[in-house]
Amino acid sequence: MCRKVIDSNGKWHMPLLKSIFKGTLRYASLNAILTHQCGPCDDMMGWIYSIIELTLSKLPWAKSAPRDMIQQKAAITGEELCAQMPPPFLQCYNYVKSLKPTEMPRHSFINECIKRCIPLNTRPNDPYDWEITNAT
């Protein structure tokens, strides 16, 4: 399910050229499902799918049969997948999609994209949607 990509000296370990798929089809990257070379970008793609589902309560392929799910993941564009997400999230998706398995993601760029998704007047101590506030 996971392996070290950087050793204790900070050197990169080349990911395996072929791997066995173990995981959940819903959140797995297409590379992982097709047992292609995987790297940190594939972990990030799984994270992106999770964020989309947490935000929208669904992924386009959530109720699809496994074969259909794979075809849908291969065919969907970033614009379609992120259509209901805040616009900066598409930049994050496109960036992760552009990475090669041997590239380390620039987490600072992803962090900036996520920050731009937060509404302007939001304060860190604002209550969450599900928290009860006392109107006085």
pLDDT mean over 23-48:
91
53: tokens are: 């589902």
What contacts 20, CB < 8 A, 6 or more positions away?
Answer: 35
Q: Which of 86, 79, 83, 82 is nearest to 118 (CA)?
A: 86
71: tokens are: 């075809």
22: tokens are: 């173990």
Residues above pLDDT 90, as percent of the chain: 60
**Amino acid symbol at 9:** N
Which is more confident, 104 or 13? 104
Buried/exposed 53-68: b ≥16 CB within 10 Å, e otherwise: eeeeeebbbeebeeee
With a cut of 70, say whether residue 14 has pLDDT above it: no
Q: What is the pTM of this model?
A: 0.82
The pLDDT value recorded for residue 112 is: 96
With a cut of 70, say whether residue 134 has pLDDT above it: no
Q: 30-117, what's its fold?
A: Transferase(Phosphotransferase); domain 1 (1.10.510)
Q: Which of 13, 30, 12 is nearest to 21 (CA)?
A: 30
Which is more confident, 110 or 39? 110
Which is more confident, 7 or 65? 65
Q: How confident is the model at residue 20 (pLDDT cuts 50, 70, 90)?
A: confident
Instruction: Give the containing element (helix H, strand E) for 92.
Output: helix 87-98
pLDDT mean over 37-49:
93
Segment 47-100, tens digit of pLDDT: 999 999 999 999 999 999 999 999 999 999 999 999 999 999 999 999 999 999
**Rounded to 5 degrees, what angle do the CA atoms 35, 40, 44 make?**
95
42: tokens are: 């594939």
Rounded CA-CA distance 67/99 in Å is: 25
